[in-house]
Structure 1
Amino acid sequence: MPKKVVSKLLALLFLILFFVVGCANNSSKITIVGSSAMQLLAEQAGNDYRLSHPNSNIVVQGGGSGTGLSQVQAGAVQIGTSDVYAETQNGINAKKLQDHLIAVVGIVPIVNKDVGIKNLTKAQLRDIFTGKVTNWKEVGGKNEAITVINRSKGSGTRKSFEDLILDNKKAIRSQEQDSNGTVKKIVNSTPGTISYISFPYANDKHIQKISIDHVQPTNRNITTNKWQLWSYEHMYTKKNPDKKTRAFIKYMLGNKVQKDLIPKIGYLSINDMKVIRNSQNKVTKIGNSR
């Protein structure tokens, strides 16, 4: 057979293989968008899933809970991650979505270490974030102006924080950031700052975690709601997700994620909770196991 013919056949075969593989990769693609608090967990779980499912393609992006919910509702992604219940978000028809409770994550106030504060009451925290208290000396710290860093609108972490701390009062206008990592860097480097981040991002010796009413921000205290500043990590899908999405959700609820990965990186398995919280923030005891 002439060399030119062989070359053309090989080129054609390569194109066919490229097309087939490309289609396979595309058909196995799962895009996950939403909560930055859940991004760390989703990324690590996605990486682990790919190792045991070589044909899978898990793409994880942040953007906030509001973005995740709106994107999955629009059918633009397979999974929308959220720190809040879909029914609490304007413009989201929760009845058309399916909620999968994957984990629980704590939220903790953090300050720059120069502030000299390790504990605040809930009332003091509320007064700071509503602008009533503007200097650290008013709450036992040094004579230094308070700089509030808030999360951006659409953030599920912000909604959870404001629902649980501000008691329906309006937050002060302040600088807003859309990711835990950015907030941590700003608080670390800027004297007088205060903000709040998710537990998995808070293991940093350069920032000061704040206890509330002398309750320590620990996962153990979350399980009984002694530490009340926490939220569920939801994965929302359409009511009838496709086979590949169902398989990944099943993986997220399985032992490898729930027993191994989740506690390893600082979250809480839903199976460890001794209370349950509904969309109206009503907490009910559910016994010693779930």
Structure 2
Amino acid sequence: MENTESTDSGNESGDVSALESGGSSTVYPIMNTAASYWNANRPASDSEYWPHGEYDIDTDKNLADYWGGLYGFEAGGDDGPPFQFTVGLSHSGTGVEKVMNGQHDIGNSSGNVEDELPDRDSYDSFVDHVVGVDGQPLVVSQEIADAGIEKITGDQLKDLYKGEITNWSELGGPNKEIQVLGRVKGSGTRTSFVSNVFDNPEEDTQVANRYGQNQRLAQAIAQADNAISYLALAFINTDGLAPIALEWEGTTYSYQDDQNGLDSKAYPLSRDLHCYTWEGTSKKEAAVINMVLSDFGQDLFVKPNNYFALGKRRQKEQRNKLPSQA
């Protein structure tokens, strides 16, 4: 793919105003971790925080100074990074709208922009940078897992979100009402789930409550004794909830299964995690995105947050979208 680079003067490497990113609560852990590393700008001597030697990166520059320098930014050194990098938290719909409206430099989304903004005539001005992969787990309140619910089928999942199954006894569990939970409309987590399960990103579903962020949804599942929901993988270790398996078209997928885990290409709730830029990708945007897409970034920002790193082919494809380095 051809390199993309905006021609606005604000995109030149002399622009040291803050880089602003925001949107998806699913993508947030990745980009927030990246921002903490970038803004700390640790020296090359700090091999624990900036293990450049492990990635065949020969440099004596501080962390952000190195990645920014690839795009012509002057080193900040002890005074900080070449520019500050901030990450806001909302949801995917807000992220793609704000990058489109010039309120964010990078719009984070766990759903495709085509699904998040279905009424647009054209998406040509959006540049899609995929930074990782999420295999959405199905989770239940711990009490339900303890009662013996370990797996549901795809048809049962559809019936749950259509209000056609309402009691856990219908699934072999206790005689207890099912509290079906989910994310708000405009959330990339919801958009991806509904699109994958019903093959329609605008399908209506019946849920007891909708939550604006994955953090709050995870807490609600954990605090209940009868809940089920989809969730971003990064939040699967929340105390009080447990993952269950999904049988889909004859194959059972379960968390941490070596053969058919949530990282399987065939897992129906797998989705890409996106960082969108608008009308090209500036050098400032590229400096950070390139860091996230590097082996260093995939190992330090994506994997520790319980997401799946890009394979080498996809990693190369995504880096080829960035403008030429200095």
> 1:142: which partner in 2?
174
1:216 is aligned to 2:257: no
- TM (normalized to structure 2)? 0.72
CA distance in 1, matches of 2:238, 2:226: 17
- Bigger shift: residues 41-50 or 130-139: 41-50
Q: CA deviation at 1:236?
A: 0.5
Structure 2 distance, partners of 1:242, 1:183, is 35
Q: Secondary structure at the match of 2:108?
A: strand
- Answering whether residue 128 of structure 2 is matched by residue 90 of structure 1, we say no
1:128 to partner: Cα distance: 0.8
Cα distance in structure 2, aligned partners of 1:250 and 1:125: 38
Residue in structure 2 matched with residue 197 of structure 1 by the alignment = 231
After superposition, what is the alpha-carbon deviation per residue over 1:6-45, rounded to whole angstroms, capped at 9, x for unaligned?
xxxxxxxxxxxxxxxxxxxx83311111111010111001
1:178 paired with 2:212, answer: yes
Amino acid at match of 2:289: I
Secondary structure of 1:27's match? coil
Does residue 229 of the first structure (1) align with residue 273 of the second (2)? no
Deviation at 1:60, TM superposition (A): 0.8
Work out the CA distance in 2 between the residues paired with 1:91 and 1:187: 33
| CA distance 1:273–1:129, shift in 2 (3 Å) | farther
2:16 partner letter:
S
Call closer, same or farther: CA 1:272–1:247 in 2, change over 3 Å. Answer: closer
**Secondary structure at the counterpart of residue 143 of structure 2:** helix
Does the C-alpha gap of structure 1 residues 181 and 62 become closer, same or farther in structure 2, counting only changes over 3 Å? same
**Aligned counterparts of 1:224 and 1:145: Cα–Cα separation in 2:** 32
2: distance between equivalents of 1:30 and 1:198?
25
Q: Is the Cα contact below 8 Å between 1:108 and 1:199 reproduced in 2?
A: yes
> Would the aligned equivalents of 1:224 and 1:273 in 2 still touch at CA under 8 Å?
no
Q: Which secondary structure does the structure 2 equivalent of 1:210 belong to?
A: strand
Q: Which has the higher helix share?
A: 1
Counterparts of 2:163 and 2:153, CA distance in 1? 15
CA contact (8 A) 1:218 1:227 kept: no
The higher relative CO (CA closer than 8 Å, separation ≥ 6) is in 2
Query: TM-score normalized by structure 1?
Result: 0.80
Letter in 2 for 1:77: H
Correspondence list, 1:101-180, <5 A: 101-115=130-144, 116=147, 117-168=149-200, 170-180=204-214
- Cα RMSD (Å) of the superposition? 2.3
User: 1:240 deviation in Å?
Assistant: 2.5
Q: How many angstroms apart in 1 are the aligned matches of 2:199 and 2:192?
A: 11
Consecutive unaligned residues in structure 1, runs of 5 or more: 1-25, 275-290
Q: Structure 1 segments of 4 or more deviating over 6 A? A: none
Contact persistence 2:253–2:262 (CA under 8 A): no
Counterpart of 1:196, as a letter, is: Y
CA distance in 2, matches of 1:273, 1:126: 34
The structural deviation recorded for 1:203 is 1.4
5+ unaligned residues in a row in structure 2: which ranges?
Answer: 1-14, 42-62, 65-80, 315-326
Q: CA shift at 1:167, angstroms?
A: 4.6
Match of residue 79, structure 1, among 98, 101, 106: 106
User: Could you say which structure has the larger radius of gyration?
Assistant: 1
1:164/1:134 Cα in 2 relative to 1: closer, same or farther (>3 Å)? Answer: same
Look up the equivalent residue of 1:193 and give its one-letter code: A
